[in-house]
Amino acid sequence: MPDAPGLPHENENEVLHVTPMLRLLPTCLCAVLLAACGVSPEEAEPPSPLEARSFAAGSDGFHTQGTWLHGTHVQSVSFSGATVKREGANRSVTLRLIQGELVANMPLQLSGTTPSLEPCLSRAASGVDRGCGFTVEGHGVCTPGSAVTLTSGACGQAGSCSGNPVVRVCSGETPCEHRGAGYLASGDDVTACLSSCPSVRFICPASGIYTVLAAPYTSGQAWSVTLAASSGLFPAATKILRGTDLVGATLWPHVGGTLAYNLEVVEAVNANSVPSPEDSLEPWDSSGDTFLYRVRVLPSNGTPTELCAPSAGTAGWAWAVPVKGLFDSQGNRQDSSTAFTLGCDPGVIAKCYRWGYKPWLDGVQSGDVTRAHHACTRMARADYCADGTSYTQDGTYIRLWDSVVPNITPAPSTDAGSVGMTFEAGWKPTGPACLSHWRWQHLNAPCVGLNAPIYGRDGGIENDCRDPENPYGPLKCSQICDNAGEAEKHYGARLFNDSALNGPGGEPSP
């Protein structure tokens, strides 16, 4: 292990050589740091495209980390205020997240009218094909192209009725006339079992929505009907839109004040069909539960731009993944019921999701996986100070693993030293729980919240937290760790990483 420069010592003119067991973060100059210039990483220019780097299958957990958190200047998106395009009109929807996919709930509403909804002038008007006396029974949703049967209790089937009702099914949310535009089918008596309760079968239209009209067989008679659908849902108050249904949707950033822009979904694709930026032979996410979105920023005045900065292997844009929770510019995370994060690859929110730390794996309540994802965003950026400042370089290789139960990323094999990497740190959502060495020797963090070592005359560290006999107590002990076991046992870390000792001016080391 090379010397650790800048460790505090009683005589600043002496050079202290630190053994591997006692290596620790140094106190360092801040002139080389972005934070010293007062620049927030979220205010900096978008990162340049990452160099295309790949690793072979079975490479034991190597990843290329980055310096940007969100990968975009848009930090959060509102669940409310969104619209989708349906049959040439913009419809209001409410967004939600189901696992790693955006889902929109679109309220259904009757569109227009038709003569069949007018009262019958003659009490003798009768039949399923008449053009008066019908009422709207409700809307239903179904899978386009599938067969749907609506029943009302005849022959032991679901539903119920009284009197002698008839039903008519129309495509979409618009009422229709018998065999007119949008007409799908009609239902009359089911005579096979001597019942007056109707049943009707039809093919679900392309919109996935239908409208049901109902009436007595003869106007003026008493009647009632309760319909049940063989597939889909009836009655339905909303239509669920997901996947490519959201192409063309408009989303609103979750910010205060007057907005000068909104967002448009240009493309949506399941992540199991998108190659990983780190290994083109592997999918971005093989689970099938994640969708990736290409999103554009639509300013009120000006030219639309891509939400996500270009990434390796893309043609001027990158994918965004929806992630539960919100992250501020300091890297702090909070749960939210009103907004979510769109993380752009190569930002580390997206990277950590792609590496397997998907917050939705916890279920409704945030738990170990959510905390591991948050800790991963600190680790991937070498956010030693837990204030959003990155102390690394894009494309630097790291090797990560965890002790989450069940395990998401297993510990690396025992030949770690053969690839030029050694244990760097254990991580928590609040930053490093303990450190062994800096990832880049010239990017040392003066504001790191770990206690500095206190050296005795023999050069040993007297306030080592791992030493049960240290006289300084837990509030002043120095958080040193040389392996994941120590990081977990002494400091409660659940996420760990190896890295090389990268020198100033050097290229990121594999």
Please tell me whether residue 459 adopts helix, strand or coil conformation. Answer: coil
DSSP per position, 434-447? EES--SBTT---TT
Per-residue pLDDT tens, the chain, 510 aa: give them.
333 322 222 333 232 223 333 344 443 322 222 222 233 333 333 332 222 222 222 334 567 767 889 999 898 999 999 999 887 889 999 999 999 999 999 999 999 999 999 999 877 789 999 999 999 999 999 999 999 999 999 888 999 999 999 999 999 999 999 999 999 999 986 556 778 899 999 999 999 999 999 999 999 899 999 999 999 999 999 999 999 999 999 999 876 555 678 999 999 999 999 999 888 889 999 999 999 999 999 988 889 999 997 654 455 688 999 999 999 999 999 999 999 999 998 899 999 999 999 999 999 999 999 999 999 999 999 999 999 999 998 888 899 999 999 999 999 876 545 578 899 999 999 999 999 988 998 887 878 778 888 888 888 888 999 988 888 888 888 999 999 999 999 999 999 999 998 877 555 554
Q: Tokens standing for 68?
A: 């940007």
Side-chain half-sphere of 273: how many Cα atoms within 13 Å? 6
For residue 200, count CB atoms less than 10 angstroms from its CB and return exposed for 0-12, middle for 13-18, buried for 19 or more: buried
**Distance between CA atoms of residues 385 and 374, nearest Å:** 14
Whether 435 contacts 384, CB under 8 Å: yes
Assess whether the previous peptide bond of 20 is cis (omega < 30° from 0): no
Give the CA distances from residue 370 to residues 254, 330, 338, in Å, rounded to whole numbers and listed in that order: 21, 17, 18
Residue type, 326: L
**CA-atom Rg of the chain in angstroms:** 31
Cross-strand pairs, 262? 298
d(CA 478, CA 21): 13
- Cα 3 from Cα 229, distance rounded (Å): 74
Q: What gap in Å lies between CA 342 and CA 340, rounded to an integer?
A: 7
The domain defined by 115-236 folds into Jelly Rolls (2.60.120)
- Please give the Cα distance from 502 to 494 (Å, whole number): 24
How many angstroms separate the Cα of 152 from the Cα of each of 84, 175, 477? Answer: 34, 20, 75
Q: How far is CA 493 from the centre of its chain?
A: 24
* Contacts of 440 by beta carbon, 8 Å cutoff, 6+ apart: 382, 391, 392, 393, 396, 502, 503, 504
| pTM of the model as a whole | 0.81
Kindly state the DSSP code that residue 169 receives in the 8-state scheme.
Answer: E
